[in-house]
Each structure stands twice: as C-alpha cells, then as structure tokens.
Amino acid sequence: MRYIPRMPRNRYSARVLRLCGVPIVLAALAAPAGGAAPDPAAMERGAAIYRGGTCPVCHHWEGQGNRRGPDLTDDEWLHGDGSLAAVRTAIETGFRHGAGRRFRGKYEMWPLGGMELDESDVDALTAYVWSLHRRRRAADTLTREVVSRIAFGSGADQDRSQPVWDTVLALRPQLTLMLGNSVLAGTVDMRELRLQYDKLAAKPGFSELRRQSRLMATWNDLDFGREDGGADFDKRAESQQVFLDFWNEPPGSPRRQQQGIYTSQRFGPPGRRLQVILLDTRYGRGPIWQVSPDEARRRQLLGMGPYLPNDHERARMLSEEQWRWLDQQLRQPADLRLIATSIPFVMEFTGWESWANMPNERQRLIELIRDTGAAGVLLLSGDTPWADVSRLEGEVPYPLWDFNSGSLNRRGMVGIGPNRHRVGTPTAEPNFGYMEIDWTAADPTIRIELRSIANRSLLRQIVRLSELQPK
Ligand code: HEC
C-alpha cells in the first residue's frame, strides 16, 4: 500500500485524535468530477486504506459510526448529497474549527483523517466510503409486514414421513424458521447432499408450507455436511452454495459472497418491529473437545454427550466476521429480536453440542447483548433431540430465554440430559415451536410453545416485552 500515515499506528489513540494539536501536512489535491460508478477493485483497495488508517477510530470498522463520528452507511448525510464528489470533498477538507454539524466542537476530523494520501489513494477511499450506504441499502431487509405468528423447528428425517407440516400449516405461520438439520444428510458428497434435499422438497406438506409461509433457514451439522463439523470441513464453501440453492437465495445476495450463511431480516414498523437473526454456528467453528471413551459411556447413562467445554481463548463458535456483523445487527432498531442458533445457547450442561462447549464465546454473546443495549432478545435453538425451555439469569441485562425444539419427526434416541437452566418438564416427543405475538397490547405479549405433532402443547411460556428490557 502506498499511503503513509503521519503517526505510527499504535499512536492513533482516541485521546490523540480527539482534538490533537499535531500539525498535519495536507497534500494539495484536485477534486475530480464524480462521474461513473467506481470499480470494485478501487473499492476494495479503499477498504484496506480505511481499515488500516485512522477512519475506524471515529467511524467504526465498517463505517457504522460511533460516539466520535457519524454513521457513513446510512442515507443521512450531514454534508453534501452523498455523491462521489461530496464524499471526496468531506474526506479532503475534514471538519475542523466548528465546521461539523452534529459533533461540532466536540470531535473534529482532520483533512484526510490526518493521513497522508496520494490522489489515487483518495480515489479508492472515496469509492469505498461512497459504496457503504449503497451496500446497506441493497442489503436492507426491512419489510412492512407485521409478523405475529412464527413456527420454528429443527431436525427432519427425510427418509421418514413428516406429518408435522400439516399441523404447522393449520396454525398459518407467516414465518417459519428452520433451525438446522432440515435434512439429516451428514455427507461430504455434494451430489448426495442435493439428493437428500430433493427428498425434503418432495414432501407434500413441506412444499405446501413453502407456498404459504415465508421460510428462513440456517444449517446445523448434518445439512452442513459433516457430523458435528465446523471450520475444518473442507467442502464448506460448496455446501454453502448447495444450501443457498435449496433455500432459493437469489444469485446476487450477499449471503452467497460471505463465508457462512448467517443472515438477518426485519419486519414491521417501529413499535411492532421484529428482527430475526439466523446465526451460522458451523462455518467458522473451531475444534470441540471430547471426554475419553470410558467417560463417554458413563455419561450415556445420564443422557449426556461426549463434549467438554473448550475454554481456550481462541476457541471460536462464530468467525470474527460474523461477530462484527452481529454487532451491527444488534444495533439496528427493533422491538423483539429472535436469535436463532442451530445448537442450544442457554442449556447447561448436557455434553451435547451447545454454546456451553465454548464458554468464552457464550459469554461474548451475553456481553454483546449487554454492550449494544439490544432489547427484546429471545433465543431459539435446535439440535438437541428433546423440547426444552431454559432461562439464564444473573450476569445478563435481562433474563435470556432459550426455546429448544427437536426433532420434527423422530423421537429422541438418547436420554434427556441435565440442564441447570431448565424451566418446566422437557420431553423427547417429536415437536415444533410456535410463537404468537400480540402487538396490540400496550405491553406486547409473546406466547411461545413447543407443540406435539398432534398439536398438543408440551411446554409453554408467556413473556412480556417489558420483561426483555435492559435494567
Ligand atoms: C477524529 C475523528 C475522525 C476521524 C479519524 C475521521 N473522521 Fe470523518 N468525521 C468525523 C466527524 C466529527 C465528522 C463530522 C460530523 C459532523 O458534521 O458533526 C466526520 C465526517 C465525515 C464524513 C461526512 C459524513 C456526512 O454525513 O456528511 C465523511 C465522508 C468522513 N467523515 C469520512 C472519513 C474518512 C474516510 C476517514 C478516514 C480517512 C475519517 N472520516 C476519519 C470524525 C472523524
């Protein structure tokens, strides 16, 4: 890279930048006319200059802004019209001596953020910053529909009948969340994986649900490919495309470019706004630890699995990229947020796959919820072959509920394991989740149930939105 920062990187502390008196040499630069859209290579180079430079100190890593500088990804421009030329002028001249509008007097921006850049660097940086709000607009997934009926579930054996869909259909869910293992494929052969998906597509109830309900899906290990697999699965990129093909993701979607299938969507107007966040607990997941075979056999008697908590500081459930993305999602305005994770989050300790196997990552999500101030979070999870409701109290800003549903058409084969956050009586009967939100109440109520295939309520909880606010 050819740009030369004025100061060594480790001195870009907030304190130095806030109102630093260091004289900055500004290269004299001519502003070009903002004609055609810049090319992607320039944007990419601009992104590197942005991240390697001072900009993140005040505008955050992806331009989302912080308390020192404004959001560069939204459609609101404090200066100019958001055109290439206006963005370039802002970067070149900066905002000093009270020239800022919102941050006037408090925080200033030096010309070029205090960096020394040549003309082509400024072109690239301008291109990147300009692209930020367009990218966000393209990815903005806010729809006006008010969603109040949601079904969810995990684990569907494609080689058996699936009467569950008729029961689900009768409840007329507007949205159905597939939490993983939608096919129990467990294969590294991508052709084979597609064949298993074909079996699911051929189920009449499922295809009817596809017509009547909006479906959003994440994956678990068996539709990812390798049983209990993670980042070490070498076909993960191919598997991602197979998954996205089956779930009808459009060709240009960001979900096809990123590493992993995490996604989010928001529904409804302020006051009735639902955010659905689907995590990918596979693509970037690091190794998990196991007990000895002897110990595993002993655990079986208790209904427990073979896994041990991996408390290594580098143990990863989500990739860093996904963590950054999740941080942004949790800062978007929403009243109720459903975080769907293919494996249980709160449940502890079963020895099966769960976030408890990576205690640092589990804590990281708790802290992220606290630090972003995100209200209204409920967790939905799958994998574990029994219906279970868990509630975590204590270090969290408000009680964290986790509703685990599994499986959709097969009785659990293992015993029901211990869970010290359990609320109510778990059951291994096949089940699905169903949620109804009464948005009309002054304090909206959310009724969440785990229901049997015969539509009997197995576990049931009513949560008020006011109970999900940070204290
Ligand atoms: C020391 C903090 C700081 C740094 C470093 C900084 N900025 Fe800024 N930036 C600001 C402030 C403050 C404003 C003006 C906000 C206002 O009007 O109150 C601003 C405004 C902008 C704007 C105009 C936004 C609008 O809404 O019109 C752009 C574009 C911008 N900065 C890009 C950058 C880029 C690119 C870099 C890195 C080269 C950078 N900034 C570095 C603090 C900073």
Write out pLDDT tens, residues 407-459: 999 998 888 999 999 999 999 999 999 999 999 999 999 999 999 999 999 99
Looking at residue 141, its pLDDT comes to: 61
- CA of 225 relative to ligand 1 center, distance in Å: 45
pLDDT confidence tier of residue 286, bands split at 50, 70 and 90: very high
- CA of 89 relative to ligand 1 center, distance in Å: 11
Q: Is the dihedral of CA 68, 74, 77, 82 positive or negative?
A: positive
Average pLDDT, stretch 182-188?
96
Residues of the chain with pLDDT > 70, as a percent, come to 90
Distance CA 99, CA 247 (A): 49
Q: Residues 372-400: pLDDT tens digits?
A: 999 999 999 999 999 999 999 987 899 99
The answer, yes or no, to whether residue 45 has pLDDT greater than 90, is: yes
pLDDT confidence tier of residue 276, bands split at 50, 70 and 90: very high
- CA of 81 relative to ligand 1 center, distance in Å: 15
Both 200 and 110 in a single domain? no
Looking at residue 34, its pLDDT comes to: 39
Among residues 100, 133, 166, the one where a domain terminates is 133
Ligand 1 pocket, CB under 6 A: 17, 50, 53-55, 57-59, 68-70, 72, 77-80, 87, 90-91, 95, 100-104, 107-109, 112-113, 115, 125, 129
Looking at residue 132, its pLDDT comes to: 87
Both 125 and 174 in a single domain? no
Q: Residues 335-344: pLDDT tens digits?
A: 999 999 999 9
CATH number at residue 116: 1.10.760.10
Name the token pair of 20.
């630093």
> Do strands 175-178 and 214-217 pair parallel, antiparallel, or not at all (unpaired)?
parallel
- Torsion on CA atoms 53, 374, 394, 463, rounded to nearest 10: -160
Both 122 and 167 in a single domain? no
- CA of 19 relative to ligand 1 center, distance in Å: 13
Looking at residue 139, its pLDDT comes to: 56
Looking at residue 8, its pLDDT comes to: 35
The answer, yes or no, to whether residue 204 has pLDDT greater than 70, is: yes
Q: Residues 72-121: pLDDT tens digits?
A: 987 778 898 888 999 999 999 999 988 888 877 678 999 999 999 999 99
The three-class DSSP label of residue 214 is strand
Name the token pair of 312.
């290594």
Both 127 and 155 in a single domain? no
For a ligand 1 pocket test, name from 58, 92, 107, 132 the mutation site with the most ligand atoms within 8 angstroms of its C-beta. 58
Looking at residue 136, its pLDDT comes to: 64
Average pLDDT value over all residues in the chain: 89
The answer, yes or no, to whether residue 168 has pLDDT greater than 60, is: yes
Among residues 133, 157, 187, the one where a domain terminates is 133
- CA of 139 relative to ligand 1 center, distance in Å: 23
CATH number at residue 362: 3.60.21.70
Among residues 113, 133, 153, the one where a domain terminates is 133
Contact of 220 with 239, CB cutoff 8 Å? no
Both 189 and 66 in a single domain? no
CB atoms within 10 A of CB 237: 11
Number of domains in the chain: 2
Q: What residues have CB less than 8 Å from 408, skipping those under 6 apart? A: 153, 154, 155, 156, 162, 164, 430, 431, 432
**Cross-strand pairs, 152:** 177, 433
Both 340 and 456 in a single domain? yes
Looking at residue 74, its pLDDT comes to: 79
Looking at residue 16, its pLDDT comes to: 31
Both 124 and 178 in a single domain? no
- Torsion on CA atoms 105, 118, 128, 373, rounded to nearest 10: -30
Looking at residue 36, its pLDDT comes to: 60
The answer, yes or no, to whether residue 250 has pLDDT greater than 90, is: no
Both 44 and 103 in a single domain? yes
pLDDT confidence tier of residue 28, bands split at 50, 70 and 90: very low
Both 152 and 300 in a single domain? yes
Looking at residue 3, its pLDDT comes to: 36
Q: Is the dihedral of CA 136, 139, 145, 151 positive or negative?
A: negative
Q: How far is CA 382 from CA 169, 212, 272, 333, in A?
A: 20, 23, 26, 26
What does the longest C-alpha to C-alpha distance in the chain come to? 75
pLDDT confidence tier of residue 142, bands split at 50, 70 and 90: low
Both 104 and 208 in a single domain? no
The answer, yes or no, to whether residue 151 has pLDDT greater than 70, is: yes
CB atoms within 10 A of CB 58: 21
Both 53 and 152 in a single domain? no
- CA of 175 relative to ligand 1 center, distance in Å: 40
Q: Residues 347-377: pLDDT tens digits?
A: 999 999 999 999 999 999 999 999 999 999 9
Name the token pair of 450.
């785990």
CB atoms within 10 A of CB 241: 13
Ligand 1 atom showing the smallest separation from residue 104 Cα = 18
For a ligand 1 pocket test, name from 16, 59, 97 the mutation site with the most ligand atoms within 8 angstroms of its C-beta. 59
Domain ranges, residue 199:
142-468
Both 233 and 99 in a single domain? no
Q: Residues 48-84: pLDDT tens digits?
A: 999 999 999 999 888 888 889 998 987 778 898 888 9
